[in-house]
């Protein structure tokens, strides 16, 4: 049995450990862009999200032992765009419908706030996350491509 609870913003630090696991997952699976995650701190990331949003929803999931095993944070920007900013479910708790339920709760929150355009960024090779997002109605849109200009890239441009 899982309990879903909305957090007040000053309690956000309780998801820091899960956020760190999420950061490490992205660092390990980011296809050449792992340095993006090297200096990224929880405090700075939350500051960025709070600064670019007018409203926020933070939901945690607790197990029967009251341990936080998942969270989702969504924001509404000044441009009235909804963004699923960060979502993580402990590895041993996946495939139990927790991520889907979190997304459903957050999509409902967007609807209640008259937000009809919601986006999420996901690693191109995170197929389980892509499948999860598609299961609640999100669809692939554009694909972002990047290059880090370094010695290797410079050689390839000759």
- Quick: pLDDT tens for 105-150: 999 999 999 999 999 999 888 999 999 999 999 999 998 888 888 7
Residue 86, strand partner residues: 73
141 located within any domain: yes
Residues in the chain: 158
154 has pLDDT over 70: no
Q: For residue 54, tell me if it sits in a domain.
A: yes
Whether 158 is covered by a domain: the verdict is no
Q: What is the CATH number of the domain that holds 22?
A: 3.40.630.30
Which three-class secondary structure state does DSSP give residue 39?
coil
* pLDDT tens column, 78-112: 999 999 999 999 999 999 999 999 999 999 999 99
Domain hosting 72: range is 3-153
Is 33 inside a domain boundary? yes
User: Do the domain assignments include residue 75?
Assistant: yes
Q: What is the pTM of this model?
A: 0.87
Domain count across the chain: 1
Q: Distance between CA 3 and CA 14 in Å, rounded?
A: 15
Local structure of 133: helix, strand or coil: helix
Q: Is 97 left (phi over 0), alpha (psi -120 to 50) or beta?
A: left
């Amino acid at each position: 049995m899982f309990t879903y609870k909305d957090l007040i913003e000053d309690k956000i630090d309780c998801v820091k450990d899960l956020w760190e696991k999420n950061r490490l997952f992205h660092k390990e699976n980011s296809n050449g862009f792992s340095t993006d995650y090297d200096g990224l701190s929880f405090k700075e990331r939350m500051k960025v999200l709070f600064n670019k949003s007018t409203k926020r929803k933070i939901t945690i999931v607790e197990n029967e032992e009251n341990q936080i095993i998942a969270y989702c944070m969504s924001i509404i920007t000044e441009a009235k765009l909804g963004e699923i900013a960060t979502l993580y479910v402990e590895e041993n708790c996946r495939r139990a419908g927790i991520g889907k339920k979190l997304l459903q709760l957050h999509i409902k929150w967007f609807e209640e706030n008259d937000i009809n355009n919601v986006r999420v960024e996901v690693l191109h090779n995170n197929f389980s996350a892509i499948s999860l997002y598609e299961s609640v109605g999100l669809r692939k849109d554009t694909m972002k491509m990047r290059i880090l200009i370094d010695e290797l890239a410079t050689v390839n441009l000759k």
